[in-house]
Amino acid sequence: MHRNSLARVKRVSTPVHILMYAVCIFFAILCLLPFVVMLVNATRNTYQVQQHAFSFVPSKYLMNNFKILNEKDTFHPLTGFMNSMIISAGTTICAVYFSTLTAYALVAYSWKLRGAFFSLILAFLMIPNQVISIGFYQMVYKVHMTNNYLPLILPAIASPSMVFFMRQYMIPSLPLEIVESARVDGCHEFRIFNQIVIPMVKPAMATQGIFCFVASWNQLFLPQILLTHKEKYTMPIMVSLLEGDIYKTEYGAVYLGLALTILPLFLVYFLLSKYIIAGVALGGVKG
């Protein structure tokens, strides 16, 4: 039987197989090459980049490029890093905790307006924040909260897509029987949520947390219109400074600056890539 089933799977012919590998490897190179070029050029000086912009051989000007970035005093990767960190961490905590809470309200209790509330969440699932930016900017401007991080963090409390995901995750995997028994033991509802429900849905919260963090880290539109003070700039806004005239001829330094802005993401990705890929796949099945 075993032999039989093995024999039944006809493999593709060798040339076709080689072609498949060739295409896969080509696309892998396509994905990696821009980053490799960026990293290599970050170690080369302007003259070298001008002579041969495309090279795989690192040079020895990394520290020199770093000095150039520092001297020009416009691009501050460390400030950008700290600012992005504060905003992304705040956003992630708000989004993950409150989305779980809202999803729990949708799954664990039957209340009259639940259906209507869920419909509302679905309706706002697809609305990106760019389209409401004008009203948002005017509102924030009126209460003098531009250049403040709160208007960038607090909206995360209402994250329709994350509520949707957490709800989809909870419906099959949250044992409401345990919640019932905690109730019988006299546990308060809010404590049940914090001490029993949260530990049970932690994997989903972690996955959503990673995506929320990355999305927040990468966001450009809203921070760009709300933050006008240079010392408040986030990493993606800092990046746009590299296009300015100051760095026009400093090729190596520009590549280094770019590399610095995505270094944290490289680290996160190579540490967590397995979970991230699994998380994307899960989002597809559930969504």
Q: Coil, strand, or helix at residue 91? A: helix
275 binds other proteins (CB under 8 A): no
List the interface residues with other proteins, window 13-42 (CB under 8 A). 17, 20-21, 23-24, 27-28, 30-32, 34-35, 37-38, 41
What CA–CA distances, in Å, run from 203 to 42, 194, 283? 37, 15, 13
Tell me how far apart the alpha carbons of residues 195 and 273 are, in angstroms, rounded to a whole number.
Answer: 29
Q: How far is the CB of 202 from other proteins (least distance, A)?
A: 18
Residue 135 or 199: which CB sits closer to other proteins? Answer: 135
Q: How far is the CB of 2 from other proteins (least distance, A)?
A: 15
240 binds other proteins (CB under 8 A): yes
Q: Find the part of the chain contacting other proteins (CB under 8 A) among 7-15, 68-76, 85-93, 200-208.
A: 7-15
Q: Is 73 left (phi over 0), alpha (psi -120 to 50) or beta?
A: left
DSSP conformation class of 123: H
Tell me how far apart the alpha carbons of residues 116 and 134 are, in angstroms, rounded to a whole number.
Answer: 28
49 binds other proteins (CB under 8 A): yes
Q: How far is the CB of 283 from other proteins (least distance, A)?
A: 7
261 binds other proteins (CB under 8 A): yes
271 binds other proteins (CB under 8 A): no
Q: How far is the CB of 95 from other proteins (least distance, A)?
A: 10
List the interface residues with other proteins, window 161-190 (CB under 8 A). 163, 168, 171, 176-177, 189
- Of 69, 87, 96, 101, the one binding other proteins (CB under 8 A) is 101
Maximal C-alpha separation, the chain: 76
Query: Are the C-beta atoms of residues 210 and 279 closer than 8 Å to each other?
Result: yes
- Of 87, 201, 205, 282, the one binding other proteins (CB under 8 A) is 282
List the interface residues with other proteins, window 189-208 (CB under 8 A). 189, 193
Query: Are the C-beta atoms of residues 185 and 255 closer than 8 Å to each other?
Result: no
List the interface residues with other proteins, window 121-150 (CB under 8 A). 122-128, 130-139, 141-142
| Burial (Cβ within 10 Å: 0-12, 13-18, ≥19) of residue 208 | buried
Q: How far is the CB of 204 from other proteins (least distance, A)?
A: 15
Task: Give me the 55-94 binding string for other proteins, x by CB under 8 A, dash otherwise.
Answer: ----------------------------------------
Tell me how far apart the alpha carbons of residues 126 and 212 are, in angstroms, rounded to a whole number.
Answer: 16
7 binds other proteins (CB under 8 A): no
Amino acid at site 267? L
Structure token pair of residue 195:
């001490």
280 binds other proteins (CB under 8 A): yes
Query: Are the C-beta atoms of residues 213 and 124 closer than 8 Å to each other?
Result: no
CB atoms < 10 A from the CB of 240, how many?
12
Query: Are the C-beta atoms of residues 223 and 65 closer than 8 Å to each other?
Result: no
